Amino acid sequence: MATSSRLRTFRLWLALIGILAGFSLAPPVQADSHQPAEPPARVPLAAQASTQGPIDNLEDARQAVIQIEAVGTFMDPAEGLVANAAGRGSGFIIDETGIAVTNNHVVTGGALFKVYVDGYDRPLNARVLGVSECADLAVIDIQGEGFPYLQWYEGPIRVGLDVYAAGFPLGDPEYTLTRGIISKARASGETSWASVDQVLQHDASLNPGNSGGPLLDAQGRVVGVNYRRNEADQFFAISRDEALPLIALLREGHDVDSIGINGEAVTDGQDLFGIWVASVKSGSPADRVGLQPGDVILTMEGVSLATDGTMSTYCDILRSHSPEDVLSLEVLRLSTQEILQGQLNGRPLEPKLSFASQFEQQGQTQAEAGTPGTAQEPAPPAYDEYMTITDEQGIFSVEVPTTWVDVTDTPWQAGDEIIGISLFASPDLDAFADDWGVPGLLLRYSEVLAQEMTTDDLLDVLDLSSDCTYKERSPLSVGNLSGAFDVWVSCAEAQTAALVAALAPPGGEFLVRVEIYVASDADLDVVDRVFNTLVVTPPGAQVETAAATEPASGDEPPDTTGLQYDYVAVEDETISALLPAAWSDHFSDEWLIDGESIGRQFSASTDLAAFNDSWSIPGVFIYTVLELADDFDPVDGLDASDFSDICQYDDRAQHSHTIFGVSYQGAYDIWHNCGDEENIYLVLSAVSEPRDHAVLIYFLGTSEADVEAFDVLARSFFVSTPVTAPIIQESQQASQPIAYTTVADAEGLVAVDVPESWADVGNEDWILENEVVGRMLTAAPDLDAFINGWDTPGVLIGASQLLASLMTPAEVLDLFDFSDECTADDRYEYADAVISGVYDVWLDCGGSGGTFVVLAVNPVADGDLLLLLLINLPDETDLPAFERILQSLSPGNVGRGPEPPVATVIVNALNVRNGPGTNYSRVGAVRDGTELQVAGQVNECAWLFVTTPDGLDGWVSGNPQYVSLSVPCAQIPAVEPPPPPRQSSPAAPAAGSAQQPAPANSQQGCYLFQNHLGAELTITFTGQGGSWNQTFKLGPQAEVEKCFPPGRYTYTLDAPPPWGSTNGELEVRAGDYYLFPVRGE
């Protein structure tokens, strides 16, 4: 390392020596301050106000409450175009220079503004400084100065606070004041024209025209900005706490969460949803893209808007992007009945290219032309419902009509060579192959052909000229894929049309061919639906994504606590799995067919001889195939297992599970009443990923306990092969918790938890220029290596009361410059319940690829102490130590509270659930030796509410055969359990634990997100296929509730370094309500 001789500690000490010398170790002296010259004063117009400066009473508040008249052209959904309309609203002045606050919907789209101010003999002109469409706030600058102005209420806004609504309702020039109280301090702010996280509900009467006026307390101070009266005559104001940060930005000339429209969520009551554009601000992004009053914005970034009747989705998208980002739009122009597409900050709106319309223009379908020589048949009805289909490898995902039930995938072959995969869908594939009059879809994927040809070459290979008439080739883009498509019409006597497209990614790694055969007008919509929903995931990317998003808890064996059987872990050459302990009669051997070994076989029961000879004794046969043919399909194993001569067939279900990093995909058949006995016979076939073996299970059950045993077996089995063994071993090792120990300085200024492996600890005075300024604490696996290089993890902590009197945390960080050895990332704020300050992140120091954090903080309860931490994290595996250091850092006498009781797991594996009972969903698992922090218990410790070492909150059994408690049960507080789960709800996502049900959200699933980090967190949820997304920010130690439509989602948690980003998947069900805590890992 180029500068290894310069120790990091020397950088710190020398920098501080310079500061201390400058202050001569004396109390700080405040420097003289100066202010910039004031701008030239503006002359007020005939000012007659009786008060100047801030208003301090309710009676004089009218002098700062204004009426605003906006004149412009608006398009009203009911009235149509209204030219030169004059709408009126209220507002209030917050600065003597004429800065005033109102609602966005009062001013946006106005061409000129007249402001009526108390004491002025004529209206004043004003200009808009900034607006926020989503917060429904605007700041204007009134001509003149020397105005009286309102001040903000500074106390806590609590329910019961007396409030007064001031303004000019119904456009009347007469000032009114109505009285009420705050009835709810955290009401929902989602409306058809705004999206505010939290608003104030009050009962001071509002009417149209009160919009933008102030909600005041008894001393005339502003509590909120009035903006809404609903149909139930409830009144709402944007809270001071929501408004102030935005107003600070708006008055500086920034538009926030805005594109330049006066918009409102609308619907026709059937299937049209969108944002109605009442007016457009000249020069805005909306104006530049070509939006007009009367347009309806249907989608943004491919996401449908206003489906819930609010601006929520629209605003969530704006909040997740910067004003300069390019955002795609789909717009309905009612005046021309056109669908337009374009991009904010990109290409202007233009009519949408529809494959359906292209077919109509270029060719004829059966419904249009009929079959020659026959009477024309009526056109079939349009498809009402669609379903998602995929191939077994998950390469393709696409929506087709639910009537296209004949779906299959096969290898794509060229001669004897397999060059890719094919996915077919049609109402009848046999008829589709022989009859041009049957519609269908054919998708093909190849990496082999991508090395040999282009998209045009792939189109040229398919020549339909013997049956069809060729029209033309046109360019095509679908997501990140691009290429071209050919249109063929008048195919055979049936007059079928065909669209054939060839696509490739930017790097050309693979080729995709899409063939859609249209037999009637009803099939035209299928063409657009296919290209709007098509997702192509290469096999490598799919495996990588699955590994990245698979929750760690999904790798763990199922929890058998409280089940009817006792279970044991069976580890055999054939299989490893959890089986009932009573099934102790085992057999294991090679699986031979015609004398040839093709794998292993294993069986288990209470009595194998009786099990083999009857249908009344439960047990299981398991076969493992260790060498798979390339075309092996697990469903083939089921199709070959026909028991219809002795059993009654019930159904086939899909199977999927992941354990210790190995995934299994397949299906199982359900049979009943085999051999005229009351039983259930389950036949499961699954293939592993990595794809090197298959498992076939024949399971006979005669009781509910046996059905439970099948579920445990199906979620716990795995096979150790030369391919899977390293994956299993790595996963098992990763699940072992890190052991920590507490280190502290000799004078008790600071204590912290560090990994036990950081056993080299330094504890000494912090000495500068022969003066003791505090204490210094260091810990690392090797202190010399930590101090002299960048490849060893460790922490250095300085604690000083003297420096706290001389410098702020930010000033301390300014002393450090590691740019000669590291890459600067950024400075971030940090705050938790104990400490608060800032930290700088440095990356790739000395080429190590790691992260180096310099953190300076003050204790929240003691600003007279400064703590400085230098933490080196050379590897991602060091991140848990960083998190533990921050969580455990205890300055001076300000501890983090007594250590909670601990429950130590004493069995191989124990499930964590989202409630106290086996009827609650499993959200994770812990292994033998794991120490769980216990926060509460129910039923005399029958169940314990715990936090796992990786931050998962949930419930575990408190049975002494499963856990050992560090304190008597009487010392653990009893807590209120969550409500029992709904029987119709499936297992909860691994991200959360159940809490009280969310009111009024029975059509959505809700999550209470909790940020346990000391830094701001950005969370993004995206619907399957990218059809819906929502992004929001969550401050340090904060929480927020968010609700989502039912469906499958991926989520991204994005935190500043060194935490970084992580991804996951979960299923949202209507009526669900879960806790979603986010901690360091």
Query: For residue 29, what pLDDT band results from cuts at 50, 70 and 90?
Result: very low
Please give the Cα distance from 601 to 599 (Å, whole number): 7
Between 34 and 823, name the one with better pLDDT: 823
Question: 172-182: per-residue pLDDT in tens?
Answer: 889 999 999 99
For the question of residue 202 being annotated catalytic, the response is no
Distances from the Cα of 932 to the Cα of 649, 815, 899, 902, 964, angstroms: 46, 41, 12, 5, 10
Q: Is the pLDDT reported for residue 898 higher than 70?
A: no
- Domain residues for the domain of 873 are 736-891
Q: Is residue 1044 domain-resident? A: yes
Average pLDDT over residues 468-480: 85
What's the token pair of residue 117? 């101010």
Q: Is the pLDDT reported for residue 742 higher than 80?
A: yes
Q: Is residue 1040 domain-resident? A: yes
Q: Is residue 88 domain-resident? A: yes
Q: What is the CATH number of the domain that holds 246?
A: 2.40.10.120
Q: Is residue 12 domain-resident? A: no
Burial class (CB in 10 A: 0-12, 13-18, 19+), 800: buried
Q: Do 281 and 365 sit in the same domain of this protein?
A: no
Q: Which of 90, 132, 136, 312 is catalytic?
A: 136
Average pLDDT over residues 10-17: 33
Strands (E), 550-692: 567-571, 576-580, 585-593, 596-605, 619-625, 648-659, 662-672, 680-689
Query: For residue 86, what pLDDT band results from cuts at 50, 70 and 90?
Result: low
Distances from the Cα of 1041 to the Cα of 201, 921, 1080, angstroms: 18, 21, 20
Identity of residue 989: P
Q: Is the pLDDT reported for residue 442 higher than 90?
A: yes
The number of distinct structural domains making up the chain is: 6
Q: Do 476 and 489 sit in the same domain of this protein?
A: yes
Q: Do 847 and 730 sit in the same domain of this protein?
A: no
For the question of residue 105 being annotated catalytic, the response is yes
Question: Is there a contact between 793 and 873 (Cβ–Cβ < 8 Å)?
Answer: yes
Q: Do 416 and 399 sit in the same domain of this protein?
A: yes
Q: Which of 90, 105, 523, 716 is catalytic?
A: 105
pLDDT score at 1061: 78
Average pLDDT over residues 638-661: 86
Q: Is residue 401 domain-resident? A: yes
Task: Tell whether omega for the bond before 427 is within 30 degrees of 0, i.e. cis.
Answer: no
Of 485, 503, 537, at which residue does a domain stop? 537
Percentage of the residues of the chain whose pLDDT score is greater than 70: 83
Percentage of the residues of the chain whose pLDDT score is greater than 90: 35
Q: Do 879 and 1002 sit in the same domain of this protein?
A: no
Q: Do 324 and 246 sit in the same domain of this protein?
A: no
pLDDT score at 786: 93
pLDDT score at 358: 57
Q: Which of 211, 279, 426, 553 is catalytic?
A: 211
For the question of residue 211 being annotated catalytic, the response is yes
Residues in contact with 621: Cβ distance below 8 Å, sequence separation at least 6, in sequence order: 601, 602, 603, 697, 698
Q: Is residue 311 domain-resident? A: yes
Question: Is there a contact between 132 and 106 (Cβ–Cβ < 8 Å)?
Answer: no
Please give the Cα distance from 717 to 664 (Å, whole number): 9
Q: Which residues pair with 1033 in a beta bridge?
A: 1018
Of 869, 891, 913, at which residue does a domain stop? 891
Q: Do 588 and 711 sit in the same domain of this protein?
A: yes
CA 671 to chain centroid: 40
Q: Is the pLDDT reported for residue 73 higher than 50?
A: yes
What's the token pair of residue 277? 């554009």
Q: Do 723 and 746 sit in the same domain of this protein?
A: no
Query: For residue 833, what pLDDT band results from cuts at 50, 70 and 90?
Result: confident
Q: Do 848 and 861 sit in the same domain of this protein?
A: yes
Q: Do 186 and 280 sit in the same domain of this protein?
A: no
Q: What is the CATH number of the domain that holds 1060?
A: 2.60.40.1120
Query: For residue 24, what pLDDT band results from cuts at 50, 70 and 90?
Result: very low
Residues in contact with 759: Cβ distance below 8 Å, sequence separation at least 6, in sequence order: 781
Give the largest CA-CA distance in the chain.
110
Q: Is residue 166 domain-resident? A: yes
Q: What is the CATH number of the domain that holds 464?
A: 3.40.1000.10
| Other CB atoms within 10 A of residue 824 CB | 12
Q: Is residue 29 domain-resident? A: no
Between 661 and 583, name the one with better pLDDT: 583
Please give the Cα distance from 679 to 669 (Å, whole number): 14
Q: Do 747 and 718 sit in the same domain of this protein?
A: no
Q: Do 625 and 759 sit in the same domain of this protein?
A: no
Question: Is there a contact between 502 and 512 (Cβ–Cβ < 8 Å)?
Answer: yes
pTM score, whole prediction:
0.40
Q: What is the CATH number of the domain that holds 310?
A: 2.30.42.10
Question: 845-854: per-residue pLDDT in tens?
Answer: 988 888 999 9
Of 821, 856, 891, at which residue does a domain stop? 891
Torsion over CA: 922, 927, 933, 935 (sign): positive
